[in-house]
Amino acid sequence: MDNYKIAVALWKQRHISNDAELSEALNGHAIKFAYHSGRIENEHITFHDTREIFDHDGVTSYTGDLRTLFEIRNAKDANELLLTAFNEKRELNTELIKEFQYRLTQNTYDTRRYRLGERPGEFKLHDYVTGNEEVGAAPEDVADKIEELLSELKDIPDDKILTAAAYFHVKFENIHPFADGNGRTGRLVMNYILILHDHPPIVIHEEDRRTYFEALGVWDSEQKLTPMLAFLRQQTVKTWQQQIDKAKNK
């Protein structure tokens, strides 16, 4: 059995059914996910500050930008929503995606966006693009494209869920539905999709961002999913390597 299959099997053995069991299974994962996902977008985020906020809801002797602290604190709020939504087995829909984005970006929109009418938790009102291909749906098309994407994810069997999660992520980032926070939202929602289907969540490590962005770029330019799927398999193993090694050494 390869390491990816071991990681999935170990997760399934836990038979996680509620938020308390999920929180226990994640252990330090939530902090690592928040740190790496945030740092992909903001190099000022540190693991120390992330751990302090998750564990103690504050930091000491901080002299950096307040927006960075808000982003870390927001990541903690978004993780709480993940746990609550899982406990309630909430269906992934437009409302929940907007809630995740709101939790991640509240109090962090810059003055320019705010003056343009952009608000956390609402789809973009103006054109914002991303990547080398400058992709992004027109504002008037976002709602329909998100609904179409969600409809494509209906009734996905568990053994195809990594493919479905990869597809969701590349399509979501290609649509670029919000004025800010698309990457963080897409990565968190992807993990929600995975845990709903009894698959271990994934930390996309910030040191691997180049490969990550290249995989997103291949989808944007060629609509090929293989690079992202391979990348997520590798990141699954990297996320759960310690548990995999323990299982193999028993």
pLDDT in tens, 187-229: 999 999 999 999 999 999 999 999 999 999 999 999 999 999 9
How much is the mean pLDDT over the chain? 94
Rounded mean pLDDT of 117-134? 85
Q: Predicted confidence band at 34 (pLDDT cuts at 50, 70, 90)?
A: very high
pLDDT at 61 (0 to 100): 77
Q: Predicted confidence band at 132 (pLDDT cuts at 50, 70, 90)?
A: low
User: Is pLDDT larger for residue 144 or for residue 132?
Assistant: 144
Q: Predicted confidence band at 133 (pLDDT cuts at 50, 70, 90)?
A: low
pLDDT at 28 (0 to 100): 85
pLDDT at 131 (0 to 100): 63
Residue 70 has pLDDT above 90, yes or no: yes
Q: Predicted confidence band at 19 (pLDDT cuts at 50, 70, 90)?
A: very high
Q: Predicted confidence band at 95 (pLDDT cuts at 50, 70, 90)?
A: very high
Q: Where are the domains of the chain?
A: 3-248
So what's the architecture of 3-248 in CATH? Orthogonal Bundle (1.10)
pLDDT in tens, 6-17: 999 999 999 999
Report the predicted TM-score, pTM, of the whole model to 2 decimal places: 0.95
Rounded mean pLDDT of 121-149? 88
Q: Tell the residue number behind the tokens 């597809």, with chain if given.
A: 167
